[in-house]
Structure 1
């Protein structure tokens, strides 16, 4: 496969790429413990190589330093990177051509997984290779038959502490309360799905009742969005915009990607993040059917999800995998901020990707329907 230059980005890919590269350069990672190395040498030793999709840039640098290189040293298996903006187009193209050149696709969007699963693009995960700490720490909902949650990202509420020295907004109802918490607002421009749940929460819908976004809920959400629209001073697009506009005092409060906000905080930005009502999305890692090194790929998946390696992955990329046992290997200040911390994750709304991918009577998916209404509303 051709490696794409990670610096040549479209606006759409910039948002995702910048999201994924957020904190890699800012976090330190503990040395891999001897116990982990010994376990890998005993259970996962091999030879040859494994070909893994990645996003390039600092994201891949972080994974290579804290996951791939330790894996190679412990097992003898070399890791080769393939770089692109998204894994799905390459996986589909190789599958339909009958010539699969990758072994692992990391970052398969939850909304794209069902169709790829049904098409038979992935092979079952060999969980017998996983250690007990990995199995116990990774919830069953994150361990599918042929895919594992690779990382999670969230869009959450963030505010400028200088604007609210006595305490800022604590939920989306507060975000809508421009009298109690005055100042310019920011919201994410490109996608409906990340904004509509915020409007419903602000209108009093319980977290558990947000999904599915039925037509009556959509009417309610857009009506609520009408209230806040005049106070949105700028609709942001790229991941780094929201924190920067907070720092510049162009926003008092905004939605923001968790990794980008945490990155800014670690650089000293006076930003506070709020997990209540965060929109949480999972991306999967899967072993490709017909790949050249399936056995080595199974070993990589087992290594990646070991608790200490998962902690390294988080600290190397800025985004957490699902193994909660990694928390004991992370600095306290990191634990306080990330979604894998159950205290934070329990406050989030997890995207219902299955519902979004379901087709409506007119042949469009629910996601397409939401987007059509969103674009029309934005243009009005």
Structure 2
């Protein structure tokens, strides 16, 4: 998997409860659009179109309903959405061909440094932003040529039915097979997350996780040796851990927050544990040389306004960075997302700049960590 794990956001079956929630979200989007229309007409009005890359499927369908269509109604700029599994190979191919067909693109944080250094993105024009958005979006999320689009978390999830007297509350509990017995799951693909979980299970503080040096990798793999016999299945697709929990083939596992949120809203008896969640990031970028750059800047400004950010969060299941959106979200949703202050304080962020940096041998730190992981998994 890549840092864009969150593109796999499924709605394979739609329950009556979920239909009601979608209807409520659409109503909120209508109110949001009317509440921001005057601002957008004054500041962002335009003509023509903007070409926006997204992941397709239900992700794009819902974002189109709750974000793209309100943007068009408020500004007069039509959104043309294009989809692909991954943006990065397409960006490189367009650059080599000397023809950039897209304007706005999601880029995973692990891939951003390489494309940034190659000069593929335009600077973000923050003059289009209102003061509310500038105050609500933290400085770390506002880069020179990218803006945090949304963040996703990989976290501990458990089946409430397996632990009626109270479930695990940390990764240390995940490793405690005596107190919390039952089949377990971890991600088979990207190893750094399981390494971080292992370090936190052994008491390493969030601030000391990075850089993930060889001694810390050794430490993590030794800790993983203890839990390896208790992993009944190493999952590789984002839908697997939730389905295996629902089927009672897992009692506890790592899983993605967006997948979990979907299942919770469909009535699944599972619970999120935010302590030790690992936060991944995906950026909005404006491609240099795109056909509608001015409209792209207006689009970026629009989606980062608090009310629109709230609509995006409800559409995608993953929150954008503007914390002012919390007051526009349903009260029952706020405790389930990563930008809730209580959850944010318990989560660990990935140092993607170090992750993507080159080692003396020419490999990235990410490549080195993954090689160590695959070798350990093969033992």
TM-score normalised by the chain length of structure 1 = 0.94
- Partner in structure 2 of residue 177 of structure 1: 176
- Partner in structure 2 of residue 322 of structure 1: 321
- Partner in structure 2 of residue 47 of structure 1: 47
Asked if 1:74 corresponds to 2:74, the answer is yes
Q: Aligned residues, how many?
A: 369
SS at match of 1:339: coil
- Quick check: 337-346 or 152-161, which moved more? 337-346
Asked if 1:265 corresponds to 2:264, the answer is yes
Distance in 2 separating the partners of 1:118 and 1:359: 13
- Quick check: 92-101 or 123-132, which moved more? 92-101
Are the aligned partners of 1:14 and 1:239 in contact in 2 as well (CA < 8 Å)?
Answer: no
- Partner in structure 1 of residue 363 of structure 2: 364
Asked if 1:223 corresponds to 2:222, the answer is yes
User: Which whole-Å deviations, capped at 9, do the CAs of 1:199-239 have from their partners, x for residues lacking one?
Assistant: 00111111111111111111110000000000000001111
Are the aligned partners of 2:241 and 2:254 in contact in 1 as well (CA < 8 Å)?
Answer: yes
Displacement, 1:86? 1.1
Displacement, 1:363? 1.7
Are the aligned partners of 1:67 and 1:304 in contact in 2 as well (CA < 8 Å)?
Answer: yes
- After superposition, residues 195-274 of structure 1 pair within 5 angstroms as 195-274=194-273
- Partner in structure 2 of residue 17 of structure 1: 7
- Partner in structure 1 of residue 346 of structure 2: 347
Are the aligned partners of 2:3 and 2:110 in contact in 1 as well (CA < 8 Å)?
Answer: no
- Partner in structure 2 of residue 128 of structure 1: 127
- Change in Cα spacing, 1:13 to 1:119, as seen in structure 2 (3 Å) is closer
SS at match of 1:133: helix
Distance in 1 separating the partners of 2:95 and 2:4: 27
Distance in 1 separating the partners of 2:170 and 2:377: 23
- Change in Cα spacing, 1:182 to 1:335, as seen in structure 2 (3 Å) is same
Distance in 2 separating the partners of 1:14 and 1:76: 30
SS at match of 1:194: helix
- The ranges of structure 1 where at least 4 consecutive aligned residues each deviate by more than 3 angstroms after the TM superposition are 11-17, 19-28
- Change in Cα spacing, 1:14 to 1:112, as seen in structure 2 (3 Å) is closer
- Partner in structure 1 of residue 301 of structure 2: 302
Displacement, 1:96? 2.5
- Partner in structure 2 of residue 4 of structure 1: none
Greater helix proportion: 2
- Partner in structure 1 of residue 166 of structure 2: 167
- After superposition, residues 145-156 of structure 1 pair within 5 angstroms as 145-156=144-155
Are the aligned partners of 1:157 and 1:172 in contact in 2 as well (CA < 8 Å)?
Answer: yes
Asked if 1:99 corresponds to 2:124, the answer is no
Are the aligned partners of 1:212 and 1:355 in contact in 2 as well (CA < 8 Å)?
Answer: yes
Distance in 2 separating the partners of 1:56 and 1:363: 34
Distance in 2 separating the partners of 1:151 and 1:356: 19
- Change in Cα spacing, 1:32 to 1:121, as seen in structure 2 (3 Å) is farther
